[in-house]
Structure 1
Amino acid sequence: MTTAHPRPTSRDVARAAGVSQATVSLVLRDKWHGRVSARTVEAVRTAARELGYRPNLAARSLRMGRTRTALLVVPALTNDFFARVHTGAARIAAEHDFGVVLYPSPEGIGPTRDPFDSARATLDGVIASSMAADALTALREGGLPLVMLDSEPARTPAAATVNLDIADGIRQATAHLLGLGHRRLAHLAADVRSWTFELRARTLADTLRGAPQAHLVRTEAAELSVAGGLRAAERALTADPRPTALLCDDDLLAAGACKAARRLGLRVPEDVSVTGFDDLALATAVEPELTTVRLPAEEVGAAGMRALLAVLDGHTPDTTTLPVELVARGSSGPPPGNAERPGGN
């Protein structure tokens, strides 16, 4: 008969590391800074790892009045950006013995019903990614700490906000196209009422006002999908004057734009350049690969989880803005040779 080994306790860890149980508690709760030496911290962590120690979460929850569970609300599960946000949040949560429940809100923009109306006590806080300011009324009314990701700080009734530098991403993409010589741009704008897409449109207009020889010849609203991008790009590319570059709010729209160009007998980038936004897996699955703005999705989720943990510990985190990066690939190039001639297509 196999004898079950008793589960190691914090007392066992303390004995193995040669420290007190209080010191073990400080280290494992990440409260050791300024109170325990780095050498002791490493000794405790090594002992815990070698013993296979796992904290008794049920007892800890009763002691702290917490369930150690966070709700992550995202607009959709079909976009790998939000999958990476979840990956980042879950990684930090796991490091602090938290769980993350993932919930997709209807369309990501309308008021979201509270998925845990009858079980609110099972959550410690909420992280919401890329949501409209009024989309989380039900959850806010429950009094749970709320961290908003990719949301307008001035209108966000949240304990903390983590944003991407979306405006700088648009400026980088626009500067890239202008630097290649493009002067006639069209904007394929996601037909979604949210701060992040409104900011993209405003920033593009502001940037082009600073480039007097360039202008926005068209803005085409597009359903946020490849098919939506295809239809919007077809409208833009059959208009007069025809743009030499399409700046798209999302990689899905950009992929659709590339399809539209091919269907119209145009080459990318020789006849029309296309830029995306997000750097989804799709960006390198199309040919030519998309020039796009890379968003650090995992770090957004990680920063959001860190902010929620800080709020739960009684701190007030600063608003975090993460940098973004233009990635130039094959879908952008100089405009066709007759682009600057009056009436040229």
Structure 2
Amino acid sequence: MHTPEQPAATRPTSRDVARAAGVSQATVSLVLGGKWRGRVSERTAESVRAAAQALAYRPNLAARNLRLGRTRTALLVVPALTNEFFAHVYTGAAAEAARHGFGVVLYPSPDGVGPAKDPFASAPASLDGVIASSMATDALKAFQGTDLPLVMLDSDPADRTAAAHVNLDVADGMRRVTGHLLGLGHRRFLHLASAVPSWTFDVRAAALAEALHGTEPHAGLRTARAPLDVADAAQAATAALTAPGPRPTAVICDDDILAAGVLKATRRLGLRVPEDLSVTGFDDMALATALEPELTTVRLPAEEFGGRGMAALDAVLAGERPEPVELPVELVVRGSSGPAPAV
């Protein structure tokens, strides 16, 4: 429902918010300006935000931004909107941004990966900072040579070109998947890896190899690669599962989309899941429960991931140097994984 604009004489002021929250006007300015961290407590900040919401207080953003030399706009660079995971990342980033009076512009790299043209005539003049996925790093070439602060998502924390890093513990996710399948008796594995060059997929591959051979040195591991596309994944899986030699009894996929391709390949080959072949994914998209059987996968906290990225950028803009963040992940066991078939 549309709320009519309040007459200037009756609009609540920052003084009204301060009085309602029991704080000074300076504290209201800090909180609503996103500069309260390290200066006031989280409890006080919540009180100020609650008072502002109750009074329907709206600061004069145009005047404040002009005074601060800020646009209150962040750019979120992701590989593609066709991937559900990044839609959730955006949702989390936008929700956190709204708490601090920021807007988030979403910019998907063309074709999912690869270089992107500068989406603004002058990026530094249009943005306060950039949050980017490691899967779209080539798209950041448009911002090289600028002084825009950069927060990287799912990237090498040793990379000092970024002002902050927010990661998912994907290595632990791979260890959990591997341990689950080893516990079910599997010893012959196929890793259907993403063909997208990215730090996050390199970490997954390394963690899988280390967890597998560190626990079961005689286990076999093959690797096949495919683009993040169901048809391509099905084709790669078909070739790998019909290659000479003993057939793998478990396929570990870098992504739920790849796992969907594997399930499609198994039907074509007349294989039963999980009786003949166990299949696991990564991400826990809605797709995971739409498949039959439902997919064993690693759940990633996508919205929290985006929110923490935006919070890190806000901290950088406040003059802080945030410590690297690594969010925990969760193994979700469903019907696509089961005991290894008897040989």
Query: What is the TM-score when the length of structure 2 is the normalising length?
Result: 0.91
1:68 aligns with 2:72: yes
TM-fit CA distance, 1:91: 0.7
Amino acid at match of 2:262: A
CA 1:265–1:125 in structure 2 vs 1: closer, same or farther (change >3 Å)? same
Indicate which of 17, 42, 59 corresponds to 1:13: 17
Q: How does 1:323-342 map to 2 (within 5 A)?
A: 323-338=328-343
How many residue pairs get matched? 336
**Where do residues 1-345 of structure 1 align in structure 2 (5 Å cutoff)?**
5-6=7-8, 7-16=11-20, 20-29=24-33, 44-131=48-135, 133-155=137-159, 157-210=161-214, 211-216=216-221, 218-239=222-243, 240-338=245-343
Query: Pairwise CA RMSD of aligned residues?
Result: 2.3
- TM-score (normalizing by structure 1): 0.90
Q: Is the 8 A contact 1:85 1:301 kept in 2?
A: yes
CA offset at residue 175 of structure 1?
1.0
Contact 2:78 2:136 in 1 (8 A): no
After superposition, the C-alpha distances for 1:115-152 in whole angstroms (9 at most, x for unaligned) are: 12435311000000133555422213222100000112
Query: Judging changes above 3 Å, is the alpha-carbon distance between structure 1 residues 306 and 35 closer, same or farther for their aligned structure 2 residues?
Result: closer
Q: Closer, same or farther in 2 for the Cα pair 1:141/1:333, shift >3 Å?
A: same
Paired residue type of 1:289:
E
The letter of the residue matching 1:185 is: F
Question: What is the distance in 2 between the residues matched to 1:138 and 1:194?
Answer: 19
What is the CA-CA distance between 1:269 and the residue it aligns to? 0.2
State the SS of the aligned residue for 1:185.
strand
Q: Distance in 1 between matches of 2:267 and 2:132?
A: 38
C-alpha separation in 2, matches of 1:223 and 1:116: 30
Q: Residues 28-67 of structure 1, C-alpha deviation per residue, up to 9 Å, x if partnerless?
A: 3355577668887666445422321011110110111111
Identity of aligned residues (%): 71
Change (3 A) 1:291 1:113: same
Q: Distance in 2 between matches of 1:150 and 1:45?
A: 31
Q: CA, structure 1 residues 132+101, in 2 after alignment: closer, same or farther (shift >3 Å)? A: closer
State the SS of the aligned residue for 1:168.
helix
- Over 3 Å counting, the alpha-carbon distance change for 1:174 and 1:15 in structure 2 is closer
Please say if residues 174 and 207 of structure 1, whose CA atoms lie closer than 8 Å, have aligned partners that are also in contact.
Answer: yes
1:96-127 residue CA offsets vs partner (Å, 9 max, x unmatched): 00000000012444233221243531100000
Q: CA deviation at 1:27?
A: 4.1
Conserved in 2, the CA contact under 8 Å of 1:296 and 1:324? yes
Distance in 2 (alpha carbons) for counterparts of 1:35 and 1:189: 46
- Cα deviation, residue 272, structure 1: 0.3
* Cα displacement (A) at 1:16: 4.9
* Structure 1 unaligned regions, length at least 5: 339-345
Which of the pair has more CA radius of gyration?
1
Q: Cα gap change, 1:130/1:15 in structure 2, threshold over 3 Å: closer, same or farther?
A: same
Alpha-carbon displacement from aligned partner over 1:68-108 (angstroms, at most 9, x marks no partner): 00000000000110000001100110000000000001244
Gaps of 5+ in 2: none
Please give the secondary structure, in 2, of the residue aligned with 1:256. helix
The CA deviation at 1:196 is 1.2
Per-residue deviation, residues 180-228 of structure 1 (Å, max 9, x unmatched): 0001001111111111112222222222221123111x21111211112
Could you list the per-position Cα deviations for residues 320-345 of structure 1 after superposition, in whole angstroms to 9, with x for gaps in the alignment? 1111111110000011122xxxxxxx
How far does residue 270 in structure 1 lie from its aligned partner after superposition?
A: 0.3
CA distance in 1, matches of 2:266, 2:38: 60
Decide whether the 8 Å contact of 2:115 with 2:141 is kept in 1. Answer: yes
Provide the secondary structure at the position in 2 that maps to 1:136: helix
What whole-Å deviation, never above 9, does each CA across 1:234-255 have from its counterpart, x for those lacking one?
1122122111011111100101
